[in-house]
Amino acid sequence: MAEILLVDDEKAVRTTLSIMLQKSGYQVQEADNGQSALDRIKEKFFDLVITDLKMEPLDGIALLRSTKEINPSTEVLVMTAFGTVESGVEAMRLGAYDYIQKPFDKDEFLMVVAKAIERRELMIEVEQLQEELKEKYRFENIVGRSNEMMEVLSMVSKVAKTDSTVLITGESGTGKELIAKAIHLNSRRKNRAFVTINCGALPENLQESELFGHVRGAFTGAIREKRGLFHEANGGTLFLDEIGETALSTQVKLLRFLQDGEIRRIGENDPVHVDVRLIAATNQNLEKGISEGKFREDLYYRLNVIPVMLPPLRKRRDDIPLLINHFLEQYNKQGKALLKTVSPEAMGVLTGYDWPGNVRELENVIERALILSSKSIIQSEDLPAMIRKNHPKQAGDAGSAVPVLAPDQTLEEVEKQYILKTLDRYTWNQKKASELLGISTTTLWRKLKSYGIEPKKAE
């Protein structure tokens, strides 16, 4: 129910209007001057403030200004004395929804109020919509509609709201760092630092001082003191990439942090508390590391509070055409490619390949093809021989319906055959088929028309 604050120094006016408003279903509070109105506005939110202009202390214009400062989305309706249009116009300039001249009749008054409330409700809806869009936008750079990726993404949005430690596992190039960033950006820590350390890139003796820092003279070569990455990440997120590569001595310190939230710089006696969320990633089998004595089992369990497993690309081939389109769009945006598409044949090769380097390898292959091909369509010749060579082995696999070219067939016939096969596979769902083919639904429709084929209804 909309809440209205009614401000007028004449009690009789307040009472009459208040009764009218309540009868129309609004909740009404009254104030007899600008100052007492302002005190209420500071305490609670009103959808609408209806105010007289001439009041002491604090007149209607001053109240309007302060209201808009405190709650810009509160609507203000100003009542002006007969013949003082100017102050009404000034009020609107300052953000009032409208003004109404005294004396006014009941219907006129209730209509203006209803309109102001309607606008307020509309604004609430718009705000909510914007929030929802923002939510979506945060995942915009992560592509994936396969069941496997949907699972990962729903996990991401769930864990983002917590401070739990997350362990992301997956083969190289599956998007572990991308997911780690998404967790950070969707968490309450999003405006604080996201600090990355690649444990594998650092020799054992440097890992500790990088992570925890050291005091001056802590060891030979420590000529000045150093803040560690834990300090830099304070309030934010620390991403430990290739956690499987950390030295056992570093693992002990990480474990201590996970147990009591405290770290100690090298050469310092007193531990300090830091507020850091840890996300770790690995493309190795940590359990194997444990059995080989290279990774501490207790640390593993503390890191693996929330496991996120990124499936390899070959286990989610449905995502391949989407990813290809995503990368083409990205290059288009950067002005590196102009509206290139992938020929159906090349798309078949790409969806059929096993992608040991996963999404990163796919990204590189697309970039290479864009550079190599001067035409507007990427053909299979533009793809690395490796990928083309592997292709026939994948026959029968999802996404590899490319027919073998018979000697007397024209390319056009092959294309037609491929399109029809793809449509059949997706039970004539033209949207899905066109996605896999890497063409727009309009192009698909045009091609069908040129073959003289009537599109079947999707099942």
Ligand X SMILES: Nc1ncnc2c1ncn2[C@@H]1O[C@H](COP(=O)(O)OP(=O)(O)OP(=O)(O)O)[C@@H](O)[C@H]1O
Interacting residues with ligand X (CB under 6 A)? 142-144, 170, 172-178, 283, 323, 326, 359-360, 363
Output the residue with the shortest Cβ distance to ligand X.
175
Complex with ligand X: residue 90 or 363, whichever CB lies closer: 363
For the CB of residue 5, give the shortest distance to Mg ion in the complex, in Å: 55
What residue 142 binds from Mg ion, ligand X, none (CB within 5 to 8 A, per partner kind)? ligand X
Q: Measured from the CB atom, is 40 or 360 closer to ligand X?
A: 360
Provide the residue type at 219 as one letter: F
Quick one: tokens of 284? 């190795």
Question: 170 is in the binding site of which of ligand X, Mg ion, none (Cβ under 5 to 8 A by kind)?
Answer: ligand X
**Contact call for residues 370 and 334 (beta carbons, < 8 A):** no
Kindly give, in sequence order, each residue whose CB lies less than 8 Å from that of residue 456, ignoring residues fewer than 6 positions away: 423, 428
* Contacted entry of ligand X, Mg ion, none for residue 9, CB cut-off 5 to 8 Å set by kind: none
> 143 is in the binding site of which of Mg ion, ligand X, none (Cβ under 5 to 8 A by kind)?
ligand X
Of residues 53 and 279, the one with the C-beta less far from ligand X: 279
How far is the CA of 173 from the CAs of 2, 8, 359, 369, in angstroms? 53, 67, 5, 19
Which tokens hold the place of 281? 């990633």
Cis peptide, bond prior to residue 312, ω within 30 of zero = no
Minimum CB–partner distance for residue 242 and Mg ion (Å): 8
Minimum separation from the CB atom of position 156 to ligand X (A): 11
Min. distance of Cβ 140 from ligand X in angstroms? 10
Q: How far apart are CA 8 and CA 34, in angstroms?
A: 8
CA pair distance 217, 35, nearest whole angstrom: 63
Q: Which does 447 bind (CB under 5 to 8 A by kind): ligand X, Mg ion, none?
A: none
Q: In the bound complex, what is the minimum distance in angstroms from residue 384's beta carbon to Mg ion?
A: 22
The reply on whether position 90 binds Mg ion by CB under 5 A is: no
Helical packing angle, 319-333 and 344-352, nearest 10°: 120
Q: Which residue from 114, 18, 99 is spatially nearest to 53, judged by alpha carbons?
A: 99
Euclidean distance between the first and the last CA atom of the chain, given in angstroms as a whole number: 46
**Of 28 and 229, which CB lies nearer to ligand X in the complex structure?**
229
Measured from the CB atom, the residue of 230 and 239 that comes closer to Mg ion is: 239
Beta bridge partners of 102: none
Site for Mg ion in 171-190 (CB under 5 A): 177
> Given the complex with ligand X, which of 80 and 283 has the nearer CB atom?
283
CB of 331 to ligand X, least distance (A): 13
Residue 67 token pair: 């209201």
Distances in Å between the Cα of 227 and the Cα atoms of 203, 251, 368 are 18, 19, 41
Q: Measured from the CB of residue 175, what is the shortest distance to ligand X in angstroms?
A: 3
Give me the residues that bind Mg ion (CB under 5 A), please. Answer: 177
